[in-house]
Structure 1
């Protein structure tokens, strides 16, 4: 099995991406680093770039990269209804030829909106993955409730497991993996260490063995996304180092 490795454009830093000329300008670095694909971040777009998604899709395809799409938004609103912008995000993901759209969970109250969600996903043909974020909604209990509801309703929605975010919400990443692993289809890889009153993301080989061991608890065939800082004078070389590290069995 050759594990797919995606690189999140935000790993290079928002300022670096902007100075380079946008996410399209980072693509050659990701390709030179040997990655299989790129996670495009909606929050890094200018309005003009957001209106040129087909051009970006062609650039991604031209470098033989896969794409996924992340929007900084929750699937469910504070009142428990579906995010009204979900059709827009699905449309944007389709314009990018993305393999999936990634959102955070938000306020999941009950199963009422899930049939509507099923319809929207069926109409769009886009896969949806839901991530544990750094808010209370990203704690284990709500993620478990959502996972269980999707299973009961046979809803085609899976989870993104962010290895580091659990610490931000006071949870054990290992315990979360034990409960959620069967539903995980994408892994956001980062280690996290205490920093002032919170945490900061670092590369897993710059931390203790906990973080690489955690990956062994998660599905071996799930693509891994690099979301820790990628820094240095030769970004392609740094990228290649971590692509190779995370591709290892």
Structure 2
């Protein structure tokens, strides 16, 4: 049997309304009880902007550590603006908030990256920051195309800044872009430092995230193509009628898959 890997539960797996109502700490504790190693805090699920204040983030982070978990900080902000420029303000805010939380990773969307990565400026922002910066493939054309991610890492290499950031590879999100996840994994595996695990059901605008089936060979093939040692995040919704059982089941399954 392969060595178990760290499994992260993404807050949204418990339901967006449940997190906004109960707060992140309640669901971080549920993640601990399910056997997860870490918990992903989602900025868009804060009930109030005050929850993103440094003192509030620091208190939440300390409580998560006291549970025995490490954390990921996810923000819907994008690293690049729609016209292709580095969004330095968005990066600095995300880093400041993730640092206050004490997060291991800070995750942004890629946004409108075009051709220039501006890796030196990114490195300058990261020089005094502890969280590892990762960008995620999203569901929209902007920030979700395979060509953009290949282009980003090629540009960083050209600029002599290879490795300045990593990737969150969302297996399910490629479906919104009609990209086969296995194809994307073949091109991007070397840069993947965190995996969001989900599949999808439905088509087009009626497409929704879903849990992978135990016998899903396509999903298993993608996991096999990606680095074995990187954390795996559960980002599909748990059954509201059996949240605790679902969470424990999928943590154990994904840790060993």
Same fold (TM over 0.5): yes
In 2: Cα distance, 1:150 partner to 1:139 partner: 17
Deviation string, structure 1 residues 6-37 (Cα, Å, up to 9, x no partner): 00001111111123x21111111100000000
Please report how far the alpha carbon of residue 206 of structure 1 lies from its aligned counterpart in structure 2 after TM superposition: 6.7
In 1: Cα distance, 2:42 partner to 2:193 partner: 18
Please report how far the alpha carbon of residue 207 of structure 1 lies from its aligned counterpart in structure 2 after TM superposition: 7.5
In 2: Cα distance, 1:239 partner to 1:183 partner: 28
Please report how far the alpha carbon of residue 73 of structure 1 lies from its aligned counterpart in structure 2 after TM superposition: 1.3
1:229 aligns with 2:237: yes
Alignment of 1:91-110 (within 5 A): 91-110=96-115
Q: Contact between 1:128 and 1:157, CA under 8 Å: does it hold in 2? A: yes
Instruction: Identify the match of residue 150 of structure 1 among 149, 156, 165.
Output: 156
Cα RMSD (Å): 1.6
- In the alignment, which residue of structure 1 is the partner of 2:50? 48
- In the alignment, which residue of structure 2 is the partner of 1:11? 13
1:130 aligns with 2:138: no
What is the TM-score normalised by the length of structure 1? 0.94
Between stretches 120-129 and 164-173, larger displacement belongs to 120-129
Q: Contact between 1:29 and 1:235, CA under 8 Å: does it hold in 2? A: no
SS, match of residue 192 in structure 1: strand
Please report how far the alpha carbon of residue 195 of structure 1 lies from its aligned counterpart in structure 2 after TM superposition: 4.0
Structure 2 unaligned spans of 5+? none
- In the alignment, which residue of structure 2 is the partner of 1:66? 70
Please report how far the alpha carbon of residue 196 of structure 1 lies from its aligned counterpart in structure 2 after TM superposition: 5.9
Please report how far the alpha carbon of residue 110 of structure 1 lies from its aligned counterpart in structure 2 after TM superposition: 2.8
Between stretches 149-158 and 162-171, larger displacement belongs to 149-158
Deviation string, structure 1 residues 138-183 (Cα, Å, up to 9, x no partner): 1110110002122332342111100011110111111101101111
Q: Contact between 1:100 and 1:126, CA under 8 Å: does it hold in 2? A: yes
Give the total of aligned pairs: 248
Please report how far the alpha carbon of residue 211 of structure 1 lies from its aligned counterpart in structure 2 after TM superposition: 1.5
Deviation above 6 Å: which 4+ runs of structure 1? Answer: none
Alignment of 1:1-249 (within 5 A): 1-19=3-21, 21-45=22-46, 46-51=48-53, 52-83=56-87, 84-111=89-116, 113-136=118-141, 137-152=143-158, 153=160, 154-195=162-203, 197-205=205-213, 208-249=216-257
In 2: Cα distance, 1:196 partner to 1:117 partner: 35
Q: Contact between 1:150 and 1:157, CA under 8 Å: does it hold in 2? A: no
What is the TM-score normalised by the length of structure 2? 0.91
Structure 1 unaligned spans of 5+? none
In 1: Cα distance, 2:115 partner to 2:205 partner: 33
Between stretches 207-216 and 22-31, larger displacement belongs to 207-216
Structure 1 22/207 Cα, relative in aligned 2: closer, same or farther at 3 Å? farther
